[in-house]
Protein backbone atom coordinates (compact mmCIF):
# COMPACT_ATOMS: atom_id res chain seq x y z
CA UNK A 1 0.00 0.00 0.00
CA UNK A 2 2.91 2.25 0.14
CA UNK A 3 2.57 2.96 -3.47
CA UNK A 4 -0.91 4.21 -3.10
CA UNK A 5 -0.01 6.65 -0.35
CA UNK A 6 3.17 8.46 -1.29
CA UNK A 7 5.17 10.17 1.35
CA UNK A 8 5.27 13.90 1.77
CA UNK A 9 8.89 14.33 0.63
CA UNK A 10 8.24 12.37 -2.53
CA UNK A 11 5.31 14.63 -3.30
CA UNK A 12 7.44 17.72 -2.90
CA UNK A 13 10.17 16.37 -5.14
CA UNK A 14 7.67 15.31 -7.77
CA UNK A 15 6.07 18.76 -7.62
CA UNK A 16 9.47 20.46 -7.93
CA UNK A 17 10.45 18.23 -10.86
CA UNK A 18 7.05 18.80 -12.47
CA UNK A 19 7.42 22.58 -12.14
CA UNK A 20 10.95 22.46 -13.55
CA UNK A 21 9.76 20.39 -16.52
CA UNK A 22 6.95 22.87 -17.08
CA UNK A 23 9.42 25.75 -16.80
CA UNK A 24 11.91 24.13 -19.19
CA UNK A 25 9.14 23.13 -21.57
CA UNK A 26 7.59 26.59 -21.35
CA UNK A 27 10.92 28.28 -21.98
CA UNK A 28 12.32 26.02 -24.68
CA UNK A 29 9.54 23.83 -26.08
CA UNK A 30 6.17 25.60 -25.88
CA UNK A 31 7.27 28.78 -27.63
CA UNK A 32 8.76 26.96 -30.63
CA UNK A 33 5.79 24.57 -30.72
CA UNK A 34 3.29 27.42 -30.47
CA UNK A 35 5.19 29.54 -33.00
CA UNK A 36 5.36 26.49 -35.31
CA UNK A 37 1.62 25.99 -34.90
CA UNK A 38 1.06 29.72 -35.51
CA UNK A 39 3.27 29.57 -38.62
CA UNK A 40 1.41 26.48 -39.78
CA UNK A 41 -1.93 28.21 -39.15
CA UNK A 42 -0.72 31.30 -41.03
CA UNK A 43 0.55 29.22 -43.94
CA UNK A 44 -2.76 27.31 -44.11
CA UNK A 45 -4.69 30.59 -44.01
CA UNK A 46 -2.38 32.01 -46.69
CA UNK A 47 -2.79 28.88 -48.82
CA UNK A 48 -6.58 29.11 -48.44
CA UNK A 49 -6.45 32.79 -49.45
CA UNK A 50 -4.28 31.96 -52.45
CA UNK A 51 -6.64 29.13 -53.39
CA UNK A 52 -9.62 31.49 -53.14
CA UNK A 53 -7.74 34.07 -55.18
CA UNK A 54 -6.83 31.42 -57.79
CA UNK A 55 -10.44 30.21 -57.86
CA UNK A 56 -11.76 33.73 -58.44
CA UNK A 57 -9.11 34.29 -61.09
CA UNK A 58 -10.08 31.01 -62.75
CA UNK A 59 -13.71 32.13 -62.76
CA UNK A 60 -12.64 35.42 -64.29
CA UNK A 61 -10.56 33.62 -66.92
CA UNK A 62 -13.44 31.25 -67.61
CA UNK A 63 -15.78 34.20 -68.02
CA UNK A 64 -13.23 35.96 -70.26
CA UNK A 65 -12.80 32.79 -72.31
CA UNK A 66 -16.57 32.45 -72.65
CA UNK A 67 -16.80 36.08 -73.73
CA UNK A 68 -14.03 35.52 -76.29
CA UNK A 69 -15.79 32.39 -77.55
CA UNK A 70 -19.05 34.31 -77.87
CA UNK A 71 -17.28 37.11 -79.75
CA UNK A 72 -15.57 34.56 -82.00
CA UNK A 73 -18.91 32.86 -82.72
CA UNK A 74 -20.47 36.23 -83.46
CA UNK A 75 -17.59 37.16 -85.76
CA UNK A 76 -17.83 33.76 -87.45
CA UNK A 77 -21.55 34.31 -88.04
CA UNK A 78 -20.87 37.76 -89.50
CA UNK A 79 -18.18 36.33 -91.79
CA UNK A 80 -20.46 33.48 -92.87
CA UNK A 81 -23.32 35.88 -93.58
CA UNK A 82 -20.98 38.16 -95.55
CA UNK A 83 -19.63 35.19 -97.49
CA UNK A 84 -23.17 33.97 -98.21
CA UNK A 85 -24.18 37.43 -99.34
CA UNK A 86 -21.13 37.69 -101.58
CA UNK A 87 -21.82 34.23 -103.00
CA UNK A 88 -25.44 35.19 -103.70
CA UNK A 89 -24.33 38.43 -105.35
CA UNK A 90 -21.78 36.58 -107.48
CA UNK A 91 -24.39 33.98 -108.40
CA UNK A 92 -26.89 36.68 -109.38
CA UNK A 93 -24.21 38.56 -111.30
CA UNK A 94 -23.17 35.38 -113.12
CA UNK A 95 -26.82 34.59 -113.85
CA UNK A 96 -27.43 38.11 -115.20
CA UNK A 97 -24.24 37.94 -117.28
CA UNK A 98 -25.21 34.51 -118.63
CA UNK A 99 -28.71 35.78 -119.45
CA UNK A 100 -27.24 38.80 -121.22
CA UNK A 101 -24.83 36.62 -123.17
CA UNK A 102 -27.60 34.17 -124.10
CA UNK A 103 -29.82 37.04 -125.25
CA UNK A 104 -26.93 38.49 -127.26
CA UNK A 105 -26.23 35.10 -128.80
CA UNK A 106 -29.93 34.71 -129.64
CA UNK A 107 -30.01 38.19 -131.20
CA UNK A 108 -26.87 37.42 -133.17
CA UNK A 109 -28.35 34.10 -134.28
CA UNK A 110 -31.59 35.84 -135.31
CA UNK A 111 -29.59 38.41 -137.28
CA UNK A 112 -27.56 35.69 -138.96
CA UNK A 113 -30.73 33.73 -139.72
CA UNK A 114 -32.42 36.86 -141.10
CA UNK A 115 -29.32 37.65 -143.16
CA UNK A 116 -29.15 34.09 -144.48
CA UNK A 117 -32.89 34.21 -145.16
CA UNK A 118 -32.51 37.44 -147.15
CA UNK A 119 -29.53 35.95 -149.00
CA UNK A 120 -31.54 32.81 -149.74
CA UNK A 121 -34.57 34.88 -150.89
CA UNK A 122 -32.31 36.98 -153.13
CA UNK A 123 -30.72 33.85 -154.56
CA UNK A 124 -34.15 32.32 -155.14
CA UNK A 125 -35.35 35.51 -156.83
CA UNK A 126 -32.29 35.51 -159.06
CA UNK A 127 -32.87 31.86 -159.89
CA UNK A 128 -36.55 32.54 -160.60
CA UNK A 129 -35.60 35.52 -162.77
CA UNK A 130 -33.03 33.45 -164.67
CA UNK A 131 -35.49 30.59 -165.07
CA UNK A 132 -38.22 33.03 -166.13
CA UNK A 133 -35.94 34.57 -168.74
CA UNK A 134 -34.94 31.15 -169.99
CA UNK A 135 -38.55 29.97 -170.12
CA UNK A 136 -39.62 33.19 -171.84
CA UNK A 137 -36.74 32.84 -174.26
CA UNK A 138 -37.73 29.28 -175.09
CA UNK A 139 -41.35 30.31 -175.50
CA UNK A 140 -40.36 33.24 -177.74
CA UNK A 141 -38.14 31.06 -179.86
CA UNK A 142 -41.01 28.67 -180.41
CA UNK A 143 -43.37 31.50 -181.12
CA UNK A 144 -40.92 33.34 -183.36
CA UNK A 145 -39.97 30.35 -185.45
CA UNK A 146 -42.92 31.03 -187.64
CA UNK A 147 -42.91 34.27 -189.77
CA UNK A 148 -46.62 34.85 -189.43
CA UNK A 149 -46.41 34.63 -185.74
CA UNK A 150 -43.54 37.10 -185.69
CA UNK A 151 -45.58 39.65 -187.61
CA UNK A 152 -48.60 39.08 -185.40
CA UNK A 153 -46.50 39.53 -182.25
CA UNK A 154 -44.90 42.71 -183.59
CA UNK A 155 -48.32 44.10 -184.42
CA UNK A 156 -49.59 43.31 -180.90
CA UNK A 157 -46.58 45.04 -179.33
CA UNK A 158 -47.06 48.13 -181.53
CA UNK A 159 -50.74 48.28 -180.65
CA UNK A 160 -49.94 48.04 -176.93
CA UNK A 161 -47.37 50.81 -177.30
CA UNK A 162 -49.85 53.05 -179.08
CA UNK A 163 -52.39 52.48 -176.28
CA UNK A 164 -49.91 53.45 -173.62
Separation of alpha carbons 136 and 104, rounded Å = 47
Confidence of residue 2 (pLDDT cuts 50, 70, 90): low
Q: What is the pLDDT of residues 55-109, one digit of tens each?
A: 999 999 999 999 999 999 999 999 999 999 999 999 999 999 999 999 999 999 9
> Do the beta carbons of residue 146 and residue 140 sit within 8 Å?
no
The mean predicted confidence, pLDDT, of the chain is 88
Q: How many CA atoms lie within 13 A of 151 on its CB side?
A: 2
Question: What is the rounded average pLDDT of the residues 132-154?
Answer: 77
Does pTM surpass 0.85? no
Distance CA 119, CA 127 (A): 12
DSSP state of 40: H
Amino acid sequence: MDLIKPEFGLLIWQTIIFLMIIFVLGKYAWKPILSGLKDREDSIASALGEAEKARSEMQKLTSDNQKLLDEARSEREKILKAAQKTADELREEAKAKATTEVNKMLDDARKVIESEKQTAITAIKEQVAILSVEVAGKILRRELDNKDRQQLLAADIIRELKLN
